[in-house]
Amino acid sequence: MVYYLIGVNVLVFIAEHLFPRVIIYLSMIPMAVLRGWVWQFVTYMFVHAPRSFTHILFNMLGLFIFGIQVERRMGSKEFLVYYFVTGALAGVISFAVYYFTNTQAILMGASGALFAVELAFAVFFPDAIIYIWGIIPIRAPVMVLGFTALELFFSVSGVQSGVAHFTHLSGFAVGWLYFLIRFRINPWRAFRGR
């Protein structure tokens, strides 16, 4: 499923360049959702900033690195459900926030679901070592919690205001709840090896 998801993301990225209006139809835009374009709660995950190749590159790299292992552990069907549930609910939560703060916002990118995938990786492989920038060794749970703390700081401080920090946090939170409800696994206990 990871390869299919990456493939769809790449195809949509190409379509954005060939048919720019694709961005309007598939990104999550609060005013469009209010007009009935509810499919955007799902499709926003496949749209990436057209002028930023690094946006799709790093999201797909993260999906490949962490998603393959998580899919093998969960199974393909469960992984796909997890990916879409966490990503879509992160979109719904973001919509609620944008409705009250910025109805002109345009939400795009797989990062909400990707944060949930990274959380799942840390839960299933708490002793895995990730090399930040290829040189700094860090345990997977520390990496996930560290990234989440950074996202929380950025969302409160307003630093990197063009990034959907709240969507990232929502993906993390929904993933956490998914593990508690669906798998009866407390991520915090998994991080601590209990």
**Tell me, what's the pLDDT at 134?**
79
**Model confidence pLDDT, tens digit, residues 55-99:** 889 899 999 999 999 999 999 999 999 999 999 999 999 898 888
**Domain ranges, ordered by start, for the chain:** 2-191
The secondary structure of the chain, three-state, reads CHHHHHHHHHHHHHHHHHCCCHHHHHCECHHHHHCCCCCHHHHHHHCCCCCCHHHHHHHHHHHHHHHHHHHHHHCHHHHHHHHHHHHHHHHHHHHHHHHHHCCCCCECCCHHHHHHHHHHHHHHCCCCEEEECCCEEEEHHHHHHHHHHHHHHHHHHCCCCCCCHHHHHHHHHHHHHHHHHHCCCCHHHHHCCC
* Dihedral pair phi/psi, residue 34, rounded to 5°: -65, -25
Question: For 129-151, what is each residue's pLDDT tens digit?
Answer: 888 877 889 898 888 888 888 87
The superfamily in CATH containing domain 2-191 is Rhomboid-like (1.20.1540.10)
Look at residue 11 in the predicted model and tell me its pLDDT.
95
**Segment 116-132, tens digit of pLDDT:** 999 999 999 998 888 88
Mean pLDDT of the chain: 89
Mean pLDDT of 31-39: 92
